Amino acid sequence: MVPLPVLGRLFLTHQTRKLPPPYRRRIVRACISAYYRTVDRLFGGDRYLCYLKLSVELADQRQAEARASDGRLRMYAGVNFELRLLQEALQNPNFVSTPHTHQDR
């Protein structure tokens, strides 16, 4: 397996600099893909497959991070709701909380 050149690592890791806008990312991805396919045809190897595997791994990692973030946001929303109910109950002695999430019609 041939290691990815610096060009591919620079745009795949995204750790050293800010992500470029979406249109630039598509252009960069297309250029990197064309480069790896061309080099694989000329010199042989599996650089393009390595690039695809790394891209899929990074996409899966970002998806897992997004799921974890969504779970944390939901937990914080629940805690925030409970705190708002407690605050309202302490400030308003006539406050009655119901299990209904919306008004009865």
Looking at the domain assignment, is residue 56 inside a domain?
yes
57 assigned to some structural domain: yes
Q: Is residue 99 part of a domain?
A: no
pLDDT at 71: 94
Q: What is the pLDDT of residue 92?
A: 85
Question: What is the predicted pLDDT for the residue at 62?
Answer: 95
**pLDDT by 10s per residue, the chain, length 105:** 455 555 555 555 545 556 667 788 888 899 999 999 999 999 999 999 999 999 999 999 999 999 999 999 999 999 998 898 888 888 887 877 776 666 655
Which distant-in-sequence residues (6+ apart) come within 8 Å of 55 by Cβ?
A: 12
Q: Are 1 and 50 in contact (CB under 8 A)?
A: yes
Domain count, the chain: 1
Judge whether 55 lies within some domain: yes
Whether residue 102 is contained in a domain is answered as no
Assessment of whether the complete model's pTM goes beyond 0.75:
no
Q: Which domain holds residue 12?
A: 6-66
